[in-house]
A and B are shown apart, each in its own frame.
Chain A
Amino acid sequence: MAEFAAWVESTAVSKALFGMSWLWPLCESLHFIGLCMLIGGAGLLDLRLMGMFRGLPIRHVKALMPWAVAGFAINATTGALFLLMQPHLYLSSAVWWSKVAFIVIAGANALFFETRLAIPALAMDPDADTSAGMKLVGALSLFSWFAVLYCGRMLPYLGTGN
């Protein structure tokens, strides 16, 4: 992995991007905006699946999902740029790999919802309570996204030997 990071860092594109001093702060700002779009949109669906916001039809809340997906796309893109500019910082960090693992968990959880639970969830009465499975999926999604945030924000401070 260290050799791979060294190779990425030696490429012209990595050097050129890292050389643009304004790119890093721009990507960070976009990463924070994407985060709010993702947690705002997905979070409301998660809370509804957990049984809160009764009276809010799940199929209507789902209309916010393109915004959550757009937020994720912004963050995946800016995240890839961070990785390209500073490969060592991330690839050698257990905290970063934990972040990736939580993204995979959140993604698999969302996929499970879409394939197994979405049809009954969308057909539900707006005032009805959700099933135990839906509550679990909602809670796991919310937890995973905040874990992703935690790992990302704490990355410079965790696992530095202190």
Chain B
Amino acid sequence: MAFFHRLQDSAFTDWFLGSDSIWTYPTVLTLHTVGMAILVGASFVINLRILQVAGTIPLARLQPLYRFVWIGFTVNLLSGLVLFITEAADRAVDPVFYVKICSIVVALAFGAIVKRRAIDRAAIQQVPSARSRLLAAASLALWTVAIVSGRLMAYLKH
């Protein structure tokens, strides 16, 4: 906990949040939104297709979308780390933050299982199994939870 307080009260935090420049907090916050659009946008499309929306799209052809999932995730992991540092002590005791992180971890894990079961083996099976569809539906719901909890965190600042 002392470590989180040191991060939150650091000179970096003062500069990052106190600066008048748009290139500090506003830009990192915007990058976090851009990354979300790419990561969740691509995940929505994949999961919707698993749920047979736009069901004629050949499953295997969605494979390049995972590159965008990773780009979006990397952008948000990095921008998220910077944002976390500046409010580390507050977030470490914020249950909504843990809801957000857990929902992202589980959504990614479900996404990885769906990829292995439905996308990588698409040549064998064009219609995803009931299990894959269930995981895709859960993944969609979890991304939604992640977005809502992320948004609500702004209202629970100290």
Contacts and interface: CB of A to CB of B under 8 A. Distances in A.
Q: Which secondary structure dominates chain B's binding surface? A: helix
Contact of B37 (A57, A67, A146, A158): A146
B139 to A, nearest CB: 13
Contacts of B144: 33
Contacts of B22: 154, 157-158, 162
Contacts of B43: 40
Contact of B34 (A44, A64, A146): A146
Contacts of B40: 36, 40
Contacts of B26: 153-154, 156-158
B99 interface: no
Interface stretch (A11-19, A48-56, A107-115, A131-139): A48-56
Question: Interface residues of A: mostly helix, strand, loop or mixed?
Answer: helix
Interface in B70-91: none
Interface string A28-67: 1100110111011101100000001101110011011001
A158 B30 CA distance: 12
A150 interface: yes
Contacts of A35: 33, 37
A37 B41 CA distance: 6
Contact of A162 (B20, B44, B147): B20
Chain B, interface size: which category?
35 or more
A149 interface: yes
A40 B42 contact: yes
Interface residues of A, number: 32
Contact of A32 (B34, B147, B155): B147
B53 A56 contact: no
A36 B30 contact: no
B44 A40 contact: yes
A107 to B, nearest CB: 18
A146 B35 CA distance: 11
Nearest to B22: A157
Given A63-B54, A149-B33, A154-B26, A25 B151 contact: yes
Contacts of A156: 26
Interface in A63-94: 63-64, 67
Contacts of B48: 64, 67
A157 B33 CA distance: 15
A153 B29 contact: yes
Given A57-B57, A146-B34, 13 more contacts: A25-B151, A32-B147, A36-B44, A36-B143, A37-B41, A37-B44, A43-B41, A56-B58, A67-B48, A150-B30, A153-B30, A156-B26, A157-B22
Interface of A: 25, 28-29, 32-33, 35-37, 39-41, 43-44, 52-53, 55-57, 60-61, 63-64, 67, 146, 149-150, 153-154, 156-158, 162
